[in-house]
Amino acid sequence: MTSLQIRRPPAPATGAGGRRTNTRSSASRAEGRWGYLFLTPWFVGLVVLTAGPMLVSLYYSFTDFSLLSTPNWVGLDNYERMFTADDRFFAAVRVTLTYVIVSVPLQLAFALGIAVLLNRALRGISAYRALYYLPSLLGGSVAVAVLWRQVFGREGAVNVVLRGLGWENPPTWIADPDFALYTLILLRVWEFGSPMVIFLAGLRQVPQEYYEAAEVDGASPVQRFFRITIPVITPVIFLNAILQLIGAFQAFNSAFIISGGTGGPLDSTLFYTLYLYIEGFTNFRMGYASALAWVLLGIIAAFTAVNFALSRFWVHYEDGGR
C-alpha cells in the first residue's frame, strides 16, 4: 500500500534575508509611485486634450451641431450626405489622393538622393546638413506659403525666368487648375529636410564591410547602391514613408494660403483638411465637419494598414522581422 505525502510550502524567509526582501519591495513600490506621478501630466493631457475632444467629435458627427445652436441627434445623416450628395467631398478626396500619391514618393526619392550626397566625409559637411534641413523647418510655415504664391504668380520669379528663356506667355501657375496642385506638390517635395535626416542616420548604419566586399567583387557604385544600400535601409524607407504619408494627408497651410482659403481655382487645391475647415469654420456645420474628420481618420488608418501589410514583401530586418 502506498502512502501519499503532502509537503507543506516553505515558510517565508525571516530574519535579515526577509528584511532585505521587504526593503527591496518597498523601494520598488515607491519607485513605481514616483513613475506614475511623473506620468500624470501626460495622462491628463491624453484625456483632456486628445481622448476627450475625440469622443466629443465622434458624438458631434452624429448631430447637426452648428456652433450657434444646441446639437440635435441626426444619426448617420452626415455620413449619408457625404457619400451620396456632396460633390465637393469627392473632389477633396481626389485632390488629396493625387497630392499624397505623387508628392510622397517624389519627396522620399529627393530626400534619399540628398542624404546619399551628404553621407560623405567632406569639409564643412555639418553646415551643409543644417542648410539642407532648413526647408523642413520653414516649408509648412505661412510665410513660405506666401512666398511660394509670389514665386509662382503671373509676375513671379518662375515666369520671369521662363520669359527670359523665350516662353512669351507662361501660365499663372497657381491660378491655372491644370497646374495649381503641382505647385503645392513641388512645395511638399521642397520640405525634404526631415526625411533626409532620417535617411542620413540610416545610411550611417550600413556596415562598410558590405561595400568593401562588393568593391572587391567588382560591383559598380550603382550596383552597390541598389544591391546593398537600398535593401539594408528598407526599414528606414518604410518609417519615412509612413510618416510622410500621414503628414501629406494632413497638409493644410500651403493650400489655405495659396488658394486664399477657397481650394480654388475650380477646387483644384481643395485638400481634404481645407474642405473640413471650410465646412466647420466657414459654413458653421461642425457636425458635418466632425464626420469628415472621422472619415479622414479611417482613410489614413486604412492606408497605414495596407502599407504595413505590404511591408513584409520588401522591408528586410536583421532579425527577420521578429
- Residues above pLDDT 90, as percent of the chain: 59
Nearest to 240 by CA among 96, 102, 100, 107: 107
Tell me how far apart the alpha carbons of residues 141 and 134 are, in angstroms, rounded to a whole number. Answer: 12
At 274 the pLDDT is 96
Q: Where are the domains of the chain?
A: 82-312
Given a cut of 60, is residue 187 above it in pLDDT?
Answer: yes
Maximum average pLDDT range among 35-44, 156-165, 235-244, 257-266: 235-244
At 124 the pLDDT is 72
Cα–Cα distances in angstroms (integers) from residue 47 to residues 23, 51, 52, 65, in the given order: 35, 5, 5, 23
- Beta carbons within 8 Å of 205's beta carbon, 6+ residues apart: 232, 233
**297-322: average pLDDT:** 88
Identity at 166, one-letter amino acid code:
G
Given a cut of 80, is residue 131 above it in pLDDT?
Answer: no
Where does the pLDDT of residue 193 fall: very low under 50, low under 70, confident under 90, or very high at 90 and above?
confident
**7-33: average pLDDT:** 65
Mean pLDDT of the chain: 87
Given a cut of 80, is residue 45 above it in pLDDT?
Answer: yes
Tell which wins on pLDDT, 25 or 21: 25
At 184 the pLDDT is 93
At 29 the pLDDT is 82
**198-217: average pLDDT:** 91
CA max distance for the chain: 113
Task: Name the fold adopted by 82-312.
Answer: MetI-like fold (1.10.3720)
**195-217: average pLDDT:** 91
Tell me how far apart the alpha carbons of residues 128 and 108 are, in angstroms, rounded to a whole number. Answer: 19
At 4 the pLDDT is 43
Given a cut of 60, is residue 17 above it in pLDDT?
Answer: no
Cα atoms found within 13 Å of the Cα of residue 131, Cβ hemisphere only: 7
Tell me how far apart the alpha carbons of residues 31 and 168 are, in angstroms, rounded to a whole number. Answer: 74
**196-218: average pLDDT:** 91
Q: Can you tell me which residue has the cell 506666401?
A: 146
**77-95: average pLDDT:** 95
Instruction: Determine the straight-line distance between the first and last CA of the chain, rounded to whole angstroms.
Output: 54
Tell me how far apart the alpha carbons of residues 144 and 253 are, in angstroms, rounded to a whole number. Answer: 10
> pLDDT digit string (tens) for 74-83?
999 999 999 9
Q: What is the dihedral of CA 213, 218, 223, 225, to 10 degrees?
A: 40
> pLDDT digit string (tens) for 53-70?
999 999 999 999 998 888
- Residues above pLDDT 70, as percent of the chain: 89
